Amino acid sequence: MKHRVGFNRLSRKASHRKAMLRNMVTSLFNYEKITTTKAKALEIRRIAEKMITRAKVDSVHNRRMAARYIWDKGIVNKLFTEIGPKNANRDGGYCRILKIGSRNGDAAEMVVISLVESDNEAEGKTEKPAKKKKEKAPKAESKKTETEKVTAAADSGVTEVGKADKTE
């Protein structure tokens, strides 16, 4: 039985699993979107969300705790300068997992794990201009203008639109 098992071993030895998860979390923060299996994505999400929660408060201790897991200094810097402040108002749920189908070779369920945009950025990017309704008024206006021209021409003594009567 698997009562109270804290994590998925992913059928790997501890050293291989830790190295793989480190690399995948680093890639997630670097590219902000990666494709992997569902089991790996669930484990990556656990780690990544804890790292982003730490990155919301930029302190030496939090940087050292993140650098203990992510060995690339550039990615740690990106985590604390870009990703953490983006999610400062969010209480959790920094990662999104979307199913994309099954892999051809072994039918493993594949997913895309990506970082969720902050509310402020989402408002700026997703605000679409209001769709303009197709107005039938221009067609009606063109008919009205023709009729107005005809009535105006009749009042002024013009027989055809645009041509004046030659009364000499």
pLDDT in tens, 136-154: 555 555 555 666 666 666 6
Task: Return d(Cα 155, Cα 58) in angstroms, integer.
Answer: 80
- Is the Cβ–Cβ distance between 47 and 25 less than 8 Å? yes
Task: Reduce the DSSP state of residue 67 to 3 states and report it.
Answer: helix
Q: Write out pLDDT tens, residues 92-145.
A: 999 999 999 999 999 999 999 999 985 556 566 555 555 555 555 555 555 556
Please check whether residue 143 is in contact with residue 151, taking contact to mean a CB–CB distance below 8 angstroms.
no
Is this structure's pTM higher than 0.75? no
